[in-house]
Structure 1
């Protein structure tokens, strides 16, 4: 017993032409919302920042920041 799912793509892509919607179906293009895209973008941005910090830490080339100077003055 198989259920047929209703295709609501036209409802969500009102600004797209029938031809564009058909291309999306044929190519099985994955669509995401703005919120989903921004969430993934922010996550990847944080990962890049962490990787860069790890590289700086590993190479010992990390520049001294104002916070580091403040910590060193307490020694």
Structure 2
């Protein structure tokens, strides 16, 4: 049976600490960025969550934007 969504094994990051570690920032920094709508995260149950693939694309976009502005 094939999954009806685009989840990839190991793609989901659960919890602020896990996401922050992936991004190389503190949990506090992640919360500030997420409350401001600056980082692509979502709530899953009562926890903050993100997909590695989405974060990777977002980081690539941020880098491209920064390079164009420089």
For the aligned pair, the TM-score class normalised by the smaller chain equals 0.3 to 0.5
Question: Could you tell me the TM-score, scaled by structure 2's length?
Answer: 0.34
Q: Kindly indicate whether structure 1 or structure 2 has the higher relative contact order, using CA contacts under 8 Å at least 6 residues apart.
A: 2
More helix by share: 1
Question: Could you tell me the TM-score, scaled by structure 1's length?
Answer: 0.32
More strand by share: 2
